[in-house]
Structure 1
Amino acid sequence: MYLKVHRIPGAGEVVAACDAELMDATLIHGDVEICITGGFYGTERAGEEDVRGALAGAENANIIGRRVVALAVAMGLVAENECIMIGDVPHAQIFRI
């Protein structure tokens, strides 16, 4: 997995995580197109515990990929039926208000 925490002054942070095999891929489903890049999702690989720790404290998260979404589901952060599918890849955004 890849992981990047975006810290936005005055607005908190956004955790971005994706499955490793999706890096540099472009997913298309109908009118939706998502480019998965290191600029947003990070350039360093992260282990499951690193991703789990970042998601546990995240105010907001943007996650894509079977493994990272399954991890968030197992943590109770998102329900499977709340995820959207882009092709055959699950994607979720998590917001804590």
Structure 2
Amino acid sequence: MLIRERDTPEGLLVAVCDDGCLGETYADDEVSLTVTEKFYGGETGDADDVVDALTRASVANLVGERCVRVAIDAGLVDEENVLELDGTRHAQLLWL
């Protein structure tokens, strides 16, 4: 999985994607998502690295079956709020 962290004025923004998602575009009737190197490209990490980044994030975007599953299993994302886009999963996380 690829993990990218950015400090913003609103807090830490984390983008995570499965390795195979980088460069892909996923769409359904209403939503289109392109997994760009600029936004999602980052350091390779395992499940523990993903959970660590997500627990520190103010906002996070996740694309791919594996990273979304890691977030669900860690109790950070509610499965019923996960989107299915063109055969892959997408989740957003926002801590208030």
Alpha-carbon distance, 1:91 to partner: 0.6
Cross-structure match for 1:55: 54
Give, in whole Å, the separation in 2 of the partners of 1:60 and 1:95.
Answer: 5
Match in the other structure for 1:5: 5
Aligned partner letter, 1:3 = I
RMSD of equivalent CA atoms: 1.2
Amino acid at match of 1:2: L
Residue of structure 1 equivalent to 2:21:
22
Percent of aligned positions with the same letter in both sequences?
Answer: 32
Matches within 5 A, 1:10-89: 10-89=9-88
- Cα distance in 2 for partners of 1:44, 1:12 equals 19
Runs of 4+ aligned residues of structure 1 deviating over 3 Å after TM superposition are none
Query: Structure 2: which 5+ residue stretches go unaligned?
Result: none
| Structure 1 portions without partners, runs of 5+ | none
Deviation for aligned residue 1:96: 0.5
Shift in Å, 1:83: 0.6
Number of residue pairs matched by the alignment: 96
With the length of structure 2 as denominator, give the TM-score of the two structures. Answer: 0.91
Q: TM-score under structure 1 normalisation? A: 0.90
- Kept in 1, the 8 Å contact 2:15–2:40? The answer is yes
Shifted more, 35-44 versus 71-80: the winner is 35-44
